């Protein structure tokens, strides 16, 4: 469904991605693991069109999306819940969700999307008229995911949704990600929390300083001694 082929990307002179190829199959959950600074967020930026690949291709449903502006990528059906949540602090919860639906053409069905989001995250319904900046970290993460869902994405990109959250909340969030996926949304998950991410994923990639070094079924990666040592050992 979503394909990257030999993608290179730069920040000025910093060569952040050095020929990344990966595939996200329709209906699956794919996890991208990697240490800090490996380039995980950079991959998401390239997919979303915020950073242009200097070479290589990015295709979605068999057409090239590498030249599209970020807002066009959203219209294609690829939506991010970005690193650090990045909710709009001075908009209310409901307004944040509205922004998520900005590109929707089917205005009539938006109402039902609120309902879907509130079903996943009931707390957001309670807080709907509160300024988003006053939410707790976990609630903000839920809002970020909910906001992305409002766009009715075909592929949901999640950048470290578990970062900085208490273990219990992390567990919840991973469960909901699984549910979202079960309802038909493809998920591309960037994580450092390898154990839990792999537990819900179908396939996984490991990124090291801009290169994919390991890939395979999530269940196999979990057993891979190299990965075990690097990403699972400490936990």
Ligand X SMILES: Nc1ncnc2c1ncn2[C@@H]1O[C@H](COP(=O)(O)OP(=O)(O)OP(=O)(O)O)[C@@H](O)[C@H]1O
Cβ–Cβ < 8 Å for 214, 31? no
Residues 77-96 that bind ligand X (CB under 6 A): 83
Q: Which of 41, 66, 80, 140 binds another protein (CB under 8 A)?
A: 80
Return d(Cα 44, Cα 82) in angstroms, integer: 9
Q: Which does 10 bind (CB under 5 to 8 A by kind): ligand X, Mg ion, another protein, none?
A: another protein
Q: Is 11 one of the binding residues for ligand X (CB under 6 A)?
A: yes
Judging by DSSP bridges, how do beta strands 78-81 and 155-159 pair with one another?
parallel
- Does residue 95 interact with another protein by CB under 8 A? yes
Q: How far apart are CA 202 and CA 28, in angstroms?
A: 6
Query: Rounded to the nearest 5 degrees, what angle is found at the Cα of 148, between the Cα atoms of 146 and 152?
Result: 100
Name 58's bridge partners: 4
- The nearest distance, CB 209 to another protein, in angstroms, is 15
Between 146 and 222, whose beta carbon lies closer to another protein? 146
Using CB under 6 A as the binding rule, whether residue 16 contacts ligand X is answered as yes
- Closer residue to another protein in complex, CB, 82/138: 82
Q: Does 70 bind another protein (CB under 8 A)?
A: yes
Q: Does residue 163 touch Mg ion according to CB under 5 A?
A: no
Of 85, 79, 97, nearest in space to 152 by CA: 79
Residues that bind Mg ion (CB under 5 A): 41, 83
């Amino acid at each position: 469904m979503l394909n990257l082929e030999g993608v290179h990307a730069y920040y000025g002179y910093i060569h952040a991605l050095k020929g990344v190829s990966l595939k996200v199959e329709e209906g699956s959950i794919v996890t991208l693991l990697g240490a800090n600074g490996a380039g995980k967020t950079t991959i998401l930026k390239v997919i979303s069109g915020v950073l242009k690949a200097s070479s290589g291709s990015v295709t979605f449903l068999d057409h090239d999306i590498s030249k599209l502006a970020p807002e066009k990528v959203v219209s294609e059906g690829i939506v991010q819940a970005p690193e650090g949540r990045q909710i709009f602090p001075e908009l209310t919860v409901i307004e944040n969700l509205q922004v998520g639906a900005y590109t929707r053409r089917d205005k009539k069905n938006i109402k039902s999307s609120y309902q879907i989001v509130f079903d996943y995250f009931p707390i957001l319904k309670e807080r709907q008229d509160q300024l988003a900046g006053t939410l707790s970290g976990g609630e903000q993460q839920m809002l970020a995911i909910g906001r992305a869902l409002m766009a009715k994405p075909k592929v949901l990109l999640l950048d470290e949704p578990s970062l900085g959250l208490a273990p219990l909340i992390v567990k919840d969030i991973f469960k909901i990600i699984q549910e979202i996926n079960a309802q038909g949304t493809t998920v591309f998950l960037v994580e450092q929390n390898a154990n839990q991410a792999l537990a819900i994923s179908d396939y996984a990639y490991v990124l090291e300083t801009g290169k994919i070094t390991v890939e395979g079924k999530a269940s196999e990666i979990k057993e891979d001694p190299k990965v075990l040592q690097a990403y699972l050992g400490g936990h």
